[in-house]
Amino acid sequence: MLKKIVLAIVAVLFLTAGILSTDKAVAAEEDKLKVAFALLWTIDDQGWTTSHYHGIQKLEEKLGDKITISYTEKVLAADAERVFRNYAQQGYDIIFGTTFEHMDPLLNVAKDYPDIKFEHCSGFKSAPNMRNYFERMYQGEYLAGYMAGLMGFKKVGTVATQPIPEPIRGINAFTIGLKKGLDEIGADYDEDKLNTVVWLKAWRDVVNETTLAETLIARKHDLIRQMADTPDSAAAACAAGVPAIGYGEDAAQYGATCALVSTTFNWGQYYIKAVEQVLDGTWNNTPYWGGMEDDGILMSSFNESVPEEVKAKVMAEHEKLARGEDTIFAGPLYDQKGNVLYKEGEQATDKDLLTMRVLVKGVSGKIPQ
Amino acid sequence: MMEDIVFIGQIAIKSSVAVLLATIGEIITERGGVLNLGVEGMMIVGALAGFAAGFATGNPYLAIAAGAMAGGALSLIHAFFTIKLRSNQVLCGLALTILGLGLANFLGRPLIGEAGVRIRAFAVPYLSEIPYLGEIFFQQSPYAYGAYILGPLAWYVMFKTRAGLVLRAVGEDAAAADAAGVNVAATRTIAIWVGGLFSGLAGSYLSLSYTPGWKETMTGGQGWIAIAMVIFCTWNPLRAFWGALLFGGLTALQFFFQATSIDIIPAYVLKMLPYLLTIGVLVLVTSSGKRRRSASPADLGVPFSRES
């Protein structure tokens, strides 16, 4: 008898844990277009998922009278296919998977539901009814690096996340910008050690983010570049009196008040575009990789310690990118050993960028296996 | 060079405090003959309660106390199931971890991103001026000083007092202890509760001192490391220092190697080492023939019932 009671109570405990993956419908009416999002983490993670949630809010604001939106939080790889299939069975018209790990599960479901549109963020596999989309965060990284260079920071410490092309591209763009800024102010620097990179090997890990930032600061790095989804490395820098640069969302809003600037995602503009295409029947599966020309990447407001002339120069560079003139990865560009990656007159193609697995000169540290 | 060693030492201590406190607590529980795998759950609940109390009142003492009490409260669930109902301790401990993680996750949502109390590092007068060692050991969070005292205290009580003798008797042979007039259920309940207090305290260190703020993933498996460390230090609170230092040292080295690009030992190997060493110690302890003196309490994990 007792054993049965115990088993029953244990079962209740497990169920309690199950409640936590929440599933919310923002509004529900039958005749509207049904839009669903699977989110990696909770909407208040202060980084990646928060930025997607802000996108969802913008979508709701703009098209709320024509669509109904649902989202599910904490959709991890193992559970993703079930979530997508569930949405498909409920007759959703367009389903978004918002993290890299959603790619294969989304593709599996897309094959079974050819009439539903599927959208995958940050991946490379597609189908006639499944499109890839992403924002060119490296443009923001480049501007942040340029700003840091103009301000004379020459020993930056980067708390990087997973050693895959997206962060690698960002680190490189940041370093290229940093070098450009330093060259413009005529600073002396050690050209092999401008930007030291350490890896969390996770998208978020608050304790290790803090420790890595502190380690870099103890090694006399003068600026901390946060790349994780959570602002804790920036916050640790602030606590130690070293400036930081935030990522994904405005780190200064989450207590990291020393953040000079943050590079932030603006997914809303894409979500509106994609859903409008479904509404008017022009949706196709051509991959979308937008950037500052669409305001897909935004710079937060600058910290008051950033000088006006630096801001002006950064914003001038921003104008160029917003006009679509992206020459960040133009040659001459060298790898860490000084070998030529791109000659004068050459430039990295989108394919090169999407598969980038090499660090440029100026980065100290290596890509873990 | 010396500067780097001091820094690695500082980070090693800083990274080991939570594991150390939780390990001491779990040793007390297991010495009483109860295995509690809910350390991770109690830690995260302690982290949340500590942060929430600090956020609400702004009082650091209340925050620390709330963290410990929350861990203690959760541990009483374990006590009820394993002692009163004599249910499977492994299963119940796992459920406790899941419950703790879920509960903290659920209740803590409104607190994400809020700034609460920050318990800062505090240099102990005189002691912190000792070259190198002072810098490493005595420029830490007050939690570290608490751990320096609580470890030896736990050892003293456990091995030098009557209360400790009762605790160990219950863990080694509950039936014999019962025959000698010891209240097994009460002793075990207290052992579980004290273990819970320590786990809660360990959790509050993370949310109040290490990375002030609330994040639902902040314990990051440190509770499980603490459980491994109990075996590594063969149920001795003094050896818990070595276990925790080993863990902290490996953590610190892993970051330091990266930050300096001196990659002598790959980070993955460093991350694995605490577990490998635990298995190694387990093999050594169980094969050395000194089992009765140094290893696991004989009645660990065995529910006590007078009828059987």
Between B28 and B109, whose confidence is greater? B28
| C-alpha span between A364 and A351 (Å, rounded) | 25
What is the count of structural domains for chain A? Answer: 2
Identify the domain boundary among A101, A135, A169: A135
Q: Is A157 on the interface with B (CB under 8 A)?
A: yes
A16, A215, A255 member nearest B102 (Cβ): A16
DSSP H or E run through A34: strand A33-38
Report DSSP state, residue B127.
Answer: G
Give every CB contact of residue A316 below 8 A, 6+ residues apart in sequence.
Answer: none
Q: pLDDT digits over A26-66, tens only? A: 545 567 999 999 999 889 888 899 999 999 999 999 999 99
Q: Inter-chain contact A366–B261, Cβ cutoff 8 Å?
A: yes
Residues A307 and A174 occupy one common structural domain? yes
Would you say residue A273 lies in a domain?
Answer: no
Would you say residue A286 lies in a domain?
Answer: no
Phi-psi map region of A23: left, alpha, beta (phi>0 left; psi -120 to 50 alpha): beta
Q: pLDDT digits over A226-247, tens only? A: 999 889 999 999 999 999 999 9
Give every CB contact of residue A358 below 8 A, 6+ residues apart in sequence.
Answer: A168, A335, A336, A341, A367
Residues A181 and A126 occupy one common structural domain? no
Identify the domain boundary among A92, A113, A135: A135
Would you say residue A281 lies in a domain?
Answer: no
Would you say residue A12 lies in a domain?
Answer: no
Flag whether the ipTM exceeds 0.85.
Answer: no
> What residues of chain B, 89 to 118, have a C-beta less than 8 Å from chain A?
91-92, 95, 98-99, 101-103, 105-106, 109, 112-113, 115, 118
- The model's confidence at residue A18, banded by pLDDT at 50, 70 and 90, is very low
Query: φ and ψ at A33, to 5 degrees?
Result: -65, 135
Q: Is B183 on the interface with A (CB under 8 A)?
A: no
| C-alpha span between B99 and B105 (Å, rounded) | 10
Q: pLDDT digits over A261-312, tens only? A: 999 999 999 999 999 999 999 999 999 999 999 999 999 999 999 999 999 9
> What residues of chain A, 6 to 35, have a C-beta less than 8 Å from chain B?
6, 9-10, 13-14, 16-17, 19-20
The residue ranges of every structural domain in chain B are: 2-294
Which pLDDT belongs to residue B272? 81
Chain B residue with the nearest C-alpha to that of A209: B211
Q: pLDDT digits over A332-367, tens only? A: 999 999 999 999 999 999 989 988 999 999 999 888
Identify the domain boundary among A92, A119, A135: A135
Average pLDDT of the segment spanning B44-70: 96
| C-alpha span between B300 and B93 (Å, rounded) | 13
Q: Inter-chain contact A6–B85, Cβ cutoff 8 Å?
A: yes
Residues A344 and A332 occupy one common structural domain? yes
- pLDDT(B289) > 70: no
Closest CA to A155 of B74, B260, B70, B298: B260
Neighbours of B264 (CB within 10 A): 7
Residues A109 and A147 occupy one common structural domain? no
- The model's confidence at residue B290, banded by pLDDT at 50, 70 and 90, is low
Burial A173-193 (b: 16+ CB within 10 A, else e): bbbbbbbbbbeeeeeebeeeb
Closest CA to A308 of A146, A142, A147, A139: A147
Q: Are A185 and A152 in contact (CB under 8 A)?
A: yes
Which pLDDT belongs to residue B220? 86
- Per CB-CB distance under 8 Å, the chain A contacts of B206 are 207
Q: Inter-chain contact A9–B81, Cβ cutoff 8 Å?
A: yes
| C-alpha span between A290 and A288 (Å, rounded) | 6
Q: Inter-chain contact A255–B256, Cβ cutoff 8 Å?
A: no
Residues A128 and A235 occupy one common structural domain? no
The DSSP bridge partners found for residue A347 are A330
Residues A107 and A168 occupy one common structural domain? no
- pLDDT(A151) > 60: yes
Provide the CATH topology of domain B2-294.
ABC transporter involved in vitamin B12 uptake, BtuC (1.10.3470)
CATH code of A97's domain: 3.40.50.2300
Q: Degrees (nearest 5) of the Cα angle B50, B56, B60?
A: 50
Residues A358 and A336 occupy one common structural domain? yes
Burial B2-13 (b: 16+ CB within 10 A, else e): eeeebbbbbbbb
Would you say residue A284 lies in a domain?
Answer: no
Would you say residue A34 lies in a domain?
Answer: yes
Q: Which two tokens stand for residue B270?
A: 């460093």
Residues A107 and A200 occupy one common structural domain? no
Residues A310 and A349 occupy one common structural domain? yes
A156 Cα to chain B: minimum distance (Å): 11
Tell me what the pLDDT averaged over chain B comes to: 90
How buried is A83 (Cβ within 10 angstroms: 0-12 exposed, 13-18 middle, 19+ buried)? Answer: buried
Coil/strand/helix, residue A59? helix
> What residues of chain A, 238 to 257, have a C-beta less than 8 Å from chain B?
239, 254-255
Cα B117–chain centre separation: 22
Which pLDDT belongs to residue A189? 94
Residues A314 and A206 occupy one common structural domain? yes
Would you say residue A272 lies in a domain?
Answer: no
Which pLDDT belongs to residue B269? 84
Residues A187 and A126 occupy one common structural domain? no
Which range of residues forms the domain containing residue A40? Answer: 20-135
Q: Which amino acid is at A182?
A: L
Tell me the whole-structure pTM to 2 decimals.
0.83
Would you say residue A15 lies in a domain?
Answer: no
